[in-house]
Structure 1
Amino acid sequence: MTDALAARDLEWALNTPELEEEHKKINAGIVRTRFPPEPNGYLHIGHAKSMNMNFSLAFKKLGVPAESRRTVFRYDDTNPEAESKEYIDSLKKDLDWLGWKPEKTTFSSDNFDFLESCAERLIKAGKAYVCFLASSEVEAQRECCKKRLNAISKGLDPDKEVGDAGGLYPGRYRDTGVEENLKLWNRMKKGFYKQGECSLRMKMDLTSANPNMHDLMAYRIKYSAHPHAGPGRCVYPSYDFTHCICDSFERIDYSICTLEFETRREPYFWLLKELDMYRPKVYEMSRLNIEYTVLSKRRLLKLVEKTVRGWDDPRMPTISGLRRRGYTAECLNAFCDDVGATRNSNLVEVGRLQQHARVALADKARRCMGVLTPVKVVCKGVAKSMLKVPDYPQAPEMGEHDVEFTPTFYVDKRDVRAEADSNFFGFAPGHLVGIKYANIKVVVDSVGPDGVECHVVEEGKPKSYVTWVGEGGLRCEVREYGNLFTVPEPSSDWESEVNPDSEVVFAQAMVDPSVSELCDSKGLDKWTSNVSFQFERIGYFVVDDDTTWVHGQGKGNIVFNSIVGLKEDKAKLAGEGKGKGKGGGGKSSGDAQRAKQAAAKARLEIPLKELFAKDPEWKGLYSKYDDDGIPTHDKEGEELKKSQVKKLKKEYEKHKKALDKKK
């Protein structure tokens, strides 16, 4: 075992030889962690990082062999007012979807009787007391503690400089006798007091420099039925009282949490010392912070109530939202592996997550053609024809689908301009344009309010091949998503920083009808990953749960959500929906650089000869390669120019040097 997860030492954290020996005997070579979320909301991507740490990364850091690894999935369910059956169910389903297999699933509430017995032990030892101070008085008491400590640090007499805050310090209930406290405690449990009238506090150390040692609450009165344990209790334990006892009771070796709990290390070990229970090792890691995102459950709940359509809205950073957006379990786990777990706090660029999505989807998302804002094109001199189009251009052996080309077809508005432009290669008056897969070239005769007119020609080499959808294309709804916030780091005024244009709806979009069967609403499930596609030249899209399409009947609506564009720096599509655009406040000067770094890291896993065939930046762009894997022909079969090959060779050499350096 290494000291990879070593953190701040405390005298209270040391186990007696007897406790150490007992723990080793019970665990018998097993090393155990735990993942203990509270069921007061849906899991978010920060929890995905915690799962990755507790189920995998911690063991890797410690050098624990696979057969000795165990992780407990525990519901930290001590607050019945904020928790629900819906949240309990969602946590388990998200854990399963991400692929983590716990040793067992437990509930803190299953230990309520044992926890109450621990509270009684503390009372009998003179280490806990029933306190009737109002919450405002407790705050005043703690402020008094702070001022007294400040006076002492300056060499002043705290009794003269600060006093006792009107009798609140050290507290008029702190020295109540054991027998009286036991009577009061039993009256609390039987419902003799109003909610908030009193609490059970731990008698800790009011002179400690750590305010979390200033007599934390152990139990409070709540007249609410518990969503798991049911009705019948009047008192519920606090987080600070519960989690360390459950960690010890479940024989946890490493209790891993985030850095804001670092100051709770003292009460964690103080309580276990007073109860003479085994003390697990504690390690705090930095929270996950991602650009244009909030991960506070309080803020997420407010978004659900006021801004988005639910916990699984595709703009939400919840596991459910990311799944509905089209992010796969493979993608999220790879992202968490990439981010890792350290004590250093940093803001992770959103492009890093997006790049992992591209890598995960590149080989799995079937290609199809789609247009978001259809413009009608009438082509003279051509007849209907049935085309064979590969499902995966980079791997033709994986299958193909039929697409019908018709003399009247539709292209995206971004590929059409009313005036010719030498820097624009789409449909504009006089332009020569290639029609992808149809093996024809057209010259544009006119562009008007009713669409485009063109005719087929034999000569010339187009500078672009445009994707299209024939007359038989399926109408669908495409929801394109941008950042939920307009600034990379939402502030305390975060509600005013919500991006009103984070969703753009293209209600009249069209898609290749070959996707019909794969989009059948009968196969959709909000707790699994729905089918994803790459709309060629646009990006990756997933079928949304709102889809009502029934393939066999040929009716209903298909709804797609955008996942991610084909490239990090891809220009935003022209928006003609219910919003103004993707939004998100643009990119900071460092974003592009960070995105490049993420892409470069992923690229180092690609063998030299497979660079242009597998890297998302070039994948699918070429059809033939030389013996070194350098492209010689584009995806349409046209031979590349010497200047293009020269540029690709430079990228090849750059990748070769990077791989050599890695060795």
Structure 2
Amino acid sequence: MRWPASPATDPSGKIAPVPSDMAEPVDFIREIIRDDLAAGRFDRVHTRFPPEPNAYLHIGHAQAILLNYGIAQEFGGKFNLRFDDTNPEKESEEYVAAIKRDVRWLGADWEDREFYASDYFEQLYQWAEELIRKGVAYVCDLSPEELSRTRGQPIRDGERIITPPGVDSPYRNRSVEENLDLFRRMRAGEFPEGSRTLRAKIDMAHPNLNMRDPVLYRILHARHHRTGDTWCIYPSYDWAHGQSDSIEGITHSICTLEFENHRPLYDWFLDQLGVHHPRQIEFARLNLTYTVMSKRLLLRLVQEGHVRGWDDPRMPTLAGIRRRGYTREAIADFVRRIGVSKAESIREIELLEHCLRDDLNKRAPRRMAVLEPVRLVVTNYPEGKVEGFDAVNNPEDPSYGTRKVPFSRELWIEEEDFREDPPPGFFRLAPGREVRLRYAYLVRCTGVVKDPSGRVVEVHCTYDPATRGGDAPDGRKVKATLHWASVPHAVDAEVRLYDRLFTVPDPLDVPEGEDWIGNLNPDSLVVLRGCKLEPCLGEAQAGERFQFERKGYFCVDQDTRRGLPVFNRIVTLRDTWAKLQGKLEERPRATRRAWPT
């Protein structure tokens, strides 16, 4: 599979070559495709990603995008982007544009194959008339509530789930002529919204509810984002989806497990029409701890103001994690590691964060940033003097070189790096104690200045000129190295510390009657103002990523404006996956319900 590279590494805009160290994945989907090609069922491979434009994409969609695009690349085939836009009340051009940005950011290239189910509305309508003429579709006057009741809903009998047979619609045996007349009048707009539907005539006693005379068309007087007011009847998702695949010549319709029960219906439609028949293959959708992976639930978070929009960096949307600073290489690595299977499971967010740290560690330049500053005065350092120290940009890659960091008599250090009365195990700065200032000198604390409330506002130290570069010629050792920023040179900044959106691994696991919203993490965003950064960070551009030494990985947010950079914390430095690896890579979902769609 050719995992796409980051746009930032490819100025031409084309998909960069696959990294040589990326192993080709092996999974049951690729085995099925190889068998199909060997058996002559298909002589080519053509996949697609078919989102509904009714929300922003989330990281679960990234798995589907990379899977479909990767398979097309691996087998020398084609990849389509198609919008299944059959519900005008929930769809918009905003979502279409957002989806295209996300797919393109992941590196999937659909070339000139951008399609819409609405492109096929006329063909779908003509096929619906064909089913009426064959006597396998009819116009039904039951209300939505009546239709739902007569289909036969599952009921629980102790430990068993029983699905009683449905009841035939009283309109099921209308003549072909009457059905054609009514259906054409539905299209012409003669009937009120919701008053009639077109249904397939299959089997109201079928054990699969999807086969119990499903709806093909409903009356909906709503303006479509592409077709305007041309239509007042719209195809159901089930009617449009499989036929759209057929029209586009898709060979393998790869989808998640919730569509497994829909496959017999898609097969029935295609067989009735006698058209090209793609093969549908289902895999388990991605579920991730400490988040929700449902467009409906994510929409609620946005609409109720629990987050600041679809691109809030706490959201699992691709827009959100991109704004936070995630790289697509990290996402691709995560998708490669988890693979695809038929077994439902919850993946640990720690693995995703591990993939992210692994990637950022290699690419992120190091910088010094003091997030909660206290002033440090080097009392024996000459006033007005400024030195420049060479600081390593990335110890993982010498080609990143070094930079000059200014040093002066007054510095900023982290407030937490000083304790007037240090507890056991605290090795940083304290009265009488010596520490190293990164790249600069060893300093020893000689006193403090406090405000009227007793809070330390200034730490006084002396430096040893013989320790330039941070090492003592006499070989004496110190137990702590602190980062710092020169007071006259530091850049003020706002830093947003993002954490997990929920406090528990499974946010939906709540007692009966309680709301999962109660599991939101009140500390998922902490905003720090007045942070002090080394001067070169004042020129950083939106989207650039850095490691703030000892603090974590950070990305310049789009809210950055001249004179006030804004940084998002992408992820902390601490990697908990090493402790979890081998224990929690895959958590069975036998005891939990499926995520809502």
TM-score above 0.5:
yes
Is the CA contact 2:27–2:340 (under 8 Å) kept in the aligned structure 1?
no
CA–CA distance in 2 between the matches of 1:420 and 1:197?
Answer: 76
The equivalent position to 2:517 in structure 1, one of 466, 486, 495, is 495
CA–CA distance in 1 between the matches of 2:399 and 2:207?
Answer: 68
SS at match of 2:150: helix
The equivalent position to 1:71 in structure 2, one of 79, 99, 104, is 79
SS at match of 1:290: coil
- Pick closer, same or farther for the CA change 1:277–1:560 going to 2, 3 Å: same
Q: Where in structure 2 are the equivalents of 1:278-357 lying within 5 Å?
A: 278-306=276-304, 307-357=306-356
Q: Give the CA deviation at 1:91.
A: 0.9
CA–CA distance in 1 between the matches of 2:231 and 2:238?
Answer: 19
- Relative to the length of structure 1, the TM-score reads 0.75
Q: 2:10 corresponds to which residue?
A: none
Is the CA contact 1:434–1:441 (under 8 Å) kept in the aligned structure 2?
yes
SS at match of 1:362: helix
Q: 2:225 corresponds to which residue?
A: 227
Matched to 1:478, the amino acid is V
Q: 2:3 corresponds to which residue?
A: none
Is the CA contact 1:432–1:444 (under 8 Å) kept in the aligned structure 2?
no
Deviations 1:183-229 (A, max 9, x none): 11011101111111111111111111111111111011111121122
The equivalent position to 1:517 in structure 2, one of 539, 553, 557, is 539
Deviations 1:2-47 (A, max 9, x none): 9933999xxxxxx9xxxx99x85xxxx3211111001111111011
CA–CA distance in 2 between the matches of 1:594 and 1:434?
Answer: 34
Q: 2:205 corresponds to which residue?
A: 207
CA–CA distance in 2 between the matches of 1:332 and 1:3?
Answer: 18
Alignment pair present for 1:561 and 2:563: no
Q: 1:248 corresponds to which residue?
A: 246
- Pick closer, same or farther for the CA change 1:598–1:99 going to 2, 3 Å: farther
Q: 2:261 corresponds to which residue?
A: 263
Is the CA contact 1:254–1:282 (under 8 Å) kept in the aligned structure 2?
yes
Q: Where in structure 2 are the equivalents of 1:610-649 lying within 5 Å?
A: none
CA–CA distance in 1 between the matches of 2:578 and 2:265?
Answer: 44
Q: Give the CA deviation at 1:339.
A: 1.4
CA–CA distance in 2 between the matches of 1:598 and 1:543?
Answer: 32
- Pick closer, same or farther for the CA change 1:497–1:70 going to 2, 3 Å: same
Structure 1 residues 421-430 or 452-461, which shifts more?
452-461
Q: 2:415 corresponds to which residue?
A: 413
Alignment pair present for 1:483 and 2:485: no
Q: 1:466 corresponds to which residue?
A: 482
Is the CA contact 1:259–1:285 (under 8 Å) kept in the aligned structure 2?
yes
Deviations 1:123-170 (A, max 9, x none): 1111111111111111210227x68x99xx99xxx9xxx8x9xxx821
Deviations 1:460-508 (A, max 9, x none): 4211110011112111000001110111011163211111210011112
The aligned length equals 527
SS at match of 2:293: coil
Q: Give the CA deviation at 1:81.
A: 0.8
The equivalent position to 1:535 in structure 2, one of 548, 564, 573, is 548
- Pick closer, same or farther for the CA change 1:469–1:3 going to 2, 3 Å: closer
Q: Gaps spanning 5+ residues in structure 1: where?
A: 9-14, 525-529, 550-555, 570-590, 600-663
SS at match of 2:412: strand
Q: 1:90 corresponds to which residue?
A: 98
Q: 1:660 corresponds to which residue?
A: none
Deviations 1:333-362 (A, max 9, x none): 111111111111111111111111112111
- Pick closer, same or farther for the CA change 1:47–1:351 going to 2, 3 Å: same
Is the CA contact 1:568–1:595 (under 8 Å) kept in the aligned structure 2?
no
Q: 2:186 corresponds to which residue?
A: 188
Matched to 2:370, the amino acid is V
CA–CA distance in 1 between the matches of 2:405 and 2:286?
Answer: 45
CA–CA distance in 2 between the matches of 1:436 and 1:169?
Answer: 78
Q: 1:426 corresponds to which residue?
A: 428
Matched to 1:532, the amino acid is R
Q: Give the CA deviation at 1:80.
A: 0.8
Is the CA contact 1:441–1:462 (under 8 Å) kept in the aligned structure 2?
no
The equivalent position to 2:121 in structure 1, one of 100, 112, 120, is 112
Coordinate RMSD, CA, aligned:
2.7
SS at match of 1:410: strand
- Pick closer, same or farther for the CA change 1:179–1:185 going to 2, 3 Å: same
Q: Give the CA deviation at 1:395.
A: 3.5
Q: Where in structure 2 are the equivalents of 1:117-132 lying within 5 Å?
A: 117-132=126-141
SS at match of 1:476: strand
- Pick closer, same or farther for the CA change 1:6–1:216 going to 2, 3 Å: farther
Is the CA contact 1:349–1:595 (under 8 Å) kept in the aligned structure 2?
no
- Pick closer, same or farther for the CA change 1:97–1:397 going to 2, 3 Å: closer
Is the CA contact 2:443–2:461 (under 8 Å) kept in the aligned structure 1?
no
Q: Give the CA deviation at 1:230.
A: 2.5
SS at match of 1:73: strand
Deviations 1:585-605 (A, max 9, x none): xxxxxx764357799xxxxxx
Q: Give the CA deviation at 1:546.
A: 0.5
Q: 1:594 corresponds to which residue?
A: 580
Structure 1 residues 273-282 or 365-374, which shifts more?
273-282
CA–CA distance in 1 between the matches of 2:272 and 2:252?
Answer: 20
CA–CA distance in 1 between the matches of 2:561 and 2:581?
Answer: 37
- Pick closer, same or farther for the CA change 1:456–1:348 going to 2, 3 Å: same
Q: 2:54 corresponds to which residue?
A: 40
SS at match of 1:450: strand
CA–CA distance in 1 between the matches of 2:584 and 2:391?
Answer: 32
Is the CA contact 1:442–1:456 (under 8 Å) kept in the aligned structure 2?
yes
- Pick closer, same or farther for the CA change 1:544–1:3 going to 2, 3 Å: closer
Structure 1 residues 486-495 or 36-45, which shifts more?
486-495
CA–CA distance in 1 between the matches of 2:521 and 2:423?
Answer: 33
Is the CA contact 2:66–2:332 (under 8 Å) kept in the aligned structure 1?
yes
Q: 2:275 corresponds to which residue?
A: 277
Matched to 1:32, the amino acid is H
- Pick closer, same or farther for the CA change 1:97–1:597 going to 2, 3 Å: farther
Q: Give the CA deviation at 1:231.
A: 2.2
CA–CA distance in 1 between the matches of 2:582 and 2:414?
Answer: 29
CA–CA distance in 1 between the matches of 2:524 and 2:97?
Answer: 29
Deviations 1:72-112 (A, max 9, x none): 11111111111101111111111111111125111110000
- Pick closer, same or farther for the CA change 1:445–1:72 going to 2, 3 Å: same
Structure 1 residues 221-230 or 81-90, which shifts more?
221-230
Deviations 1:249-296 (A, max 9, x none): 111111111111111111111111111122211111101001111111
Q: 1:398 corresponds to which residue?
A: 400
- Pick closer, same or farther for the CA change 1:188–1:92 going to 2, 3 Å: same
Q: 1:53 corresponds to which residue?
A: 67
Q: Give the CA deviation at 1:65.
A: 5.1
Deviations 1:386-422 (A, max 9, x none): 2222222344442222211111111112212121334
CA–CA distance in 2 between the matches of 1:463 and 1:502?
Answer: 32
SS at match of 2:340: coil
Matched to 1:410, the amino acid is W
The equivalent position to 2:148 in structure 1, one of 139, 149, 154, is 139
Q: 2:8 corresponds to which residue?
A: none
Is the CA contact 1:195–1:223 (under 8 Å) kept in the aligned structure 2?
yes
Q: Give the CA deviation at 1:447.
A: 6.6
Is the CA contact 2:540–2:556 (under 8 Å) kept in the aligned structure 1?
no
Is the CA contact 1:480–1:561 (under 8 Å) kept in the aligned structure 2?
yes
